[in-house]
Chains A and B, each alone.
Chain A
Amino acid sequence: MNVKDVTLLEDTFKKFYFEHFDLLHVPDNPNQREFGYQKFNGGMNRHISLKSDKELHLLLMQNKPSDVYCSNARYTFPNLPMAEKDWKNAELIFDIDAKDLRNEYPKDSTLIKCSECDTVSPLADVCPNCQSTKLSFTTLTCDDCIKSTKDEVVKLTKILTEDLGIHEESIKIFFSGNEGFHIYAPNSEYEQVGSKERAEIADYIMFRGCIPETFGFKKFNMNKSSLPKFEDEGWNGRLAKHLYGKKSNRSKISQEIISGGYALFQKRLEDYRESIGIKIDPNVTQDIHRIFRLPGSINSKSGLTKIFVEDLKKFDPYVDACLIDDEEIEVVANCPIKFSLKNKKFGPYNNEQISIPKFAVVYMMCKGIASSV
């Protein structure tokens, strides 16, 4: 990113933070948390200890960070190197991101950037300018993507409450600031749980690693198999609903499955992971030393804010998390597809100088498709 763009973004972010200190708070037990930040074009600074909102606000003003992070873990010595921090516990967090949900890029919301000739164009297999296949993909606002991530969040919440016994009211959902959601289960009995155990929880949620016996299939006495019922709780019930569609189909379909044999059912269970498993990022859940984007801070991949979601159904990230002001600014935009922010439509722009609100400028700069005049 060029110096002019960096200055514009830094100044915009700083102004935003100055005007929205009310959104930026250190979490509970701040002196046990590790904080970190990144600067535009810079590396990660972590192992920072902050004790209060004031210290956080000072960091934002002094360092003009592109991104700000805070650990879900609590440590005795958060500012020491990782091996000496003395890990105490960590909130259980799940990450659901649109990129993990799709098998292909959304056609109307994706653009490609050629690594050879820098041409930006709508989604294609090769660069239309030089035919190169070395492409990077950028997704812009996509309502369908947000809808499918929301659906996953709802399914995850159900498993957390019904299966894992986490109180619904304690679950906190945050929009990640780009294409997904972070789901926090703070103050749960799982805070003491280590990384390996969290990996098991992630596998459970993703429907990963299951065996036919779990669903009543008897390998050596197939005729005595009894597959799940519609009204069963947990994964048995969910699988039954997926397999049979309706209650009355159970007998016929379960018979078909049993006569198909053990190996085939095992294979089918692996395939069902794609359709009924919740698509969380397991690495996020099992990493107990990670630093997460701080709620209230701006995500430099988009210029949108990581924000608490009160009503998931009504939440529209392209409106509710787009909090930068609408002062008109001139930029050169190279965005061959349309996108929509704060209920306003933008693009396509063919490498042209335009005057648009700052929130859209920041969005495009963060996506690498606009530059200062």
Chain B
Amino acid sequence: MLLKLVPEKTDVKFINYRKIAYLFSFLSIIVAFGLYFNKGLNFGIDFEGGIMVEIGTETPADIGRIRSAMSSLKMGDVKVQEFGDPRDVLIRLEHQEGLTVDQVVEKIREILPSAIDGEISYRRTETVGSTVSGELIEDGIMAVFFAISAVLVYIWFRFEWQFGMGAVVALVHDVILTIGMFSFTGLEFNLSTIAAILTIVGYSLNDTVVVYDRIRENLRKFRKMPMSELLNLSINETLSRTVMTSVTTLIALAALFFLGGEGIHGFAAAMIWGIFVGTYSSIFIASPILLWVELQREPNTTPQAGMEVYPPKKS
């Protein structure tokens, strides 16, 4: 007996819940914006510039002691936090006026032995200058923008412009909610987060395209079926695949989240969130949006291989 998470034949009226979904998404987006403007994002040094030192200690470190030792250096706002393990500490500070990065690191190395017992290993030091961090932000925004535009063009080319619109609305929805999630959880927002967002864009699109593909096929097959019924049918037909792929990807991501180490934690978290949001948006946002726009129900003028071409119908 094979495992089937989704029964063979489903008939869930997804489209009928669209108003609830719109409202839910609308509210979520408002909350995401609210969080973004009030709480902001916990930018990593990639985007904010500054100095970061990761140290390993022999015994669990006393964060409070390290913090007070660091504040005796009078270097402004210093963040000290545990990094996945009590023997792994992250220290972050801003660039210091009048001091080079090396001088700052030297001072940290001098003061730390007073706050930590035993050997200290310097696992990682990173400094990013303010011009570089500005460029990294710019590149990140450009990457997301170009990815979405390129996708719009591709879908337009392969389907109709209405589909491209729907897919882009769903993508923007996913990106906003992911940024909102980062603001809410306070997870560090850095270069790999941009990578995660772009992968979410790719994944969500993947999902949307599979459903759209089926909608296109059914539009040709059932030429008189009411639109909302046709959308429901298409979503239900692809539901088993949607769930199957989401589950395998989630399994892989869960392994990454729990076992992949602290450095990849934020990335895996963003991706897991993205799988849920992306799947939700392809069903509840990208598909019902097709109801708003007039879809051409004549078959494509250029016949495709393996596909029946019906004679054009006068409406």
A binds B: no
